[in-house]
Amino acid sequence: MNEDLFVKICGITSEADALLCVSFGADAVGFIFAPSARQIPAQIASDIAKRLPPEILTVGVFRDEAPQRVVQTVQRAGLGAAQLHGHESAQETAWVRARLPLVIKAFPAGDRTIARFAEFGADYLLIDGDTPGSGEVFDWRLAEGVADPSRLIVSGGLHPGNVAQAVTHLRPAGVDVSSGVESSPGRKDPRKVRDFIVNARTAETEVEARDALSDEPTEDEPYDWRDS
């Protein structure tokens, strides 16, 4: 992932939706292999992934799956990452990460296990609501200070109307959405996808602008030639 805000659209079920998300500027698409209204076979995910630009991160989403099965599925489907969205232990997560190039480990907001995130060996920490995929927003204060923001991905109830607030409040490395940009389960709404990505990127730009402004010396501060 690059240093810009990472936008992942999850619950992809068709090539058309995957290409739609990419065309609007998504950095990643997620395929759900766990029981869900958006669950698809690994072979379909593989077929879709082959049609996407190589710079797009393709993510297989699993919940309480055997680590060996996770690795096999991701590798056979030709995906770039695994997202573990269940009660996977630190040992199981680290085992998967040792065999795959990138792993996202998800936790419910407020989970005390988040304090041990470093033990899991995952690249990114995703914080979601208590019921993943429900579209429920969690109290963002529960995600404050729980991890290095450069490794934090926020999910759970995000949609075009609130993603800017999430980016401004938490300044995460990325945002992840599924139901918040759908017209029906498993079908993405073009306008919602576009607005979600635009609003997220705009918020990121505004945050960066404010940060840059706050770093400038005020009239009360002495000039330091080393800043030039």
Out of 17, 27, 128, 176, the active site residue is: 128
Pairing of strands 124-128, 103-108: parallel
Within its chain, how far is the Cα of 69 from the centroid?
22
Indicate if 128 belongs to the active site: yes
Spatial distance between the Cα atoms of 225 and 19, rounded to a whole number of angstroms? 50
pLDDT at 213: 80
CA distances from 25 to 21, 41, 75 (A): 7, 25, 25
Query: Measuring CA to CA, which residue among 65, 99, 108 is closest to residue 79?
Result: 99
Q: Tokens for 40, please give them.
A: 């698809």
How do the pLDDT tens digits run along the chain, 228 residues long? 657 899 999 999 999 999 999 999 999 999 999 999 999 999 999 999 999 999 999 999 999 999 999 999 999 999 999 999 999 999 999 999 999 999 999 998 888 888 899 999 999 999 987 665 555 666 666 666 666 788 999 998 899 999 999 999 889 999 999 999 999 999 999 999 999 999 999 999 998 888 878 766 655 555 554 554
Look at residue 228 in the predicted model and tell me its pLDDT. Answer: 47
Of the candidates 10, 17, 21, 27, the residue annotated as catalytic is: 10
Tell me what pLDDT residue 82 has. Answer: 98
Task: Quote the CA–CA distance of 181 and 160 in Å, as a whole number.
Answer: 7
